[in-house]
Amino acid sequence: MQIRDATADDFEALRAVAAASLHDSYHHMLDPKTIDEALEEWYAADLLAQQLADDDAVLLVAEDDAGIVAFSQSEIMGKTPADGRILWLHVHPDHRGHGYGSRLLTRTKEALVDHGAQQISGAVLDGNRHGNEFYRAHGFERAGDRTVTVADETLTENVFVATDEEHVEWESLDEVTLGDETAYVNYAEAHRGTEGQFYEAYVDAERERRYGLFCGACNSFDNAMGPMEEVVCNSCGNRRKATRWDAAYL
């Protein structure tokens, strides 16, 4: 098996692997139409091209004689610490159980460190037993959880941080006051937008009550959420599209 950087010629193969992976992993939880709609949004050629051109993104493919059988998508997110976040790690169902995921994860971590990551993290839906076990088996510890919405259903997502790399705790809090609004912004929980990153904000320093999202492009809490967790900043137009449900489909 060879692991290499993805190219524009790989886009169709990436979509095919993602489709097979998602349908196999989530047919028991989600309507097939919901999965197909997500694939159309997340794996459009222009979005993949943007990631290839992004210096803070890492897109790796694993291939053998059958062609591309797995790929990972990751980004450098947040401020301090710089978080190497694994957004997706897809292995085609026909090729699972042969070590492709383990080898791809190792190479992905190395690439993220080369890109300046100070810690490596990933997130997995609590109901994805295999994904949670995969991270634990590869030196990750559960650092917390958060809620995500999938097909109008609120689900718990577990956040894992690699323990075999030196890293600081999974939070980088800053108390932010804008007018009458005060919240604790966690720069370690970042979401990429078109103009800048969005950061999770909380009512309390213990992160027990979620406040909303803080737009890093214009330093504003004024944003609105649309279908499939799309977020638009009302102040500057910064836009975040939902790009993942889960980091591991193995």
pTM: 0.70
Euclidean distance between CA atoms 234 and 222, whole angstroms: 6
The pLDDT tens digits for 96-137 are: 888 888 889 988 998 999 998 988 999 888 878 888 888 888
Residues contacting 171, CB < 8 A, separation 6+: 186, 188, 189, 207
Residues contacting 238, CB < 8 A, separation 6+: 193, 194, 195, 196, 198, 215, 217, 218, 223, 232
Euclidean distance between CA atoms 224 and 229, whole angstroms: 9
The pLDDT tens digits for 156-177 are: 889 999 875 444 344 556 788 8
User: What length does the chain have?
Assistant: 250
User: Would you state the pLDDT for residue 12?
Assistant: 94
Number of alpha carbons in the 13 Å side-chain half-sphere of residue 3? 20
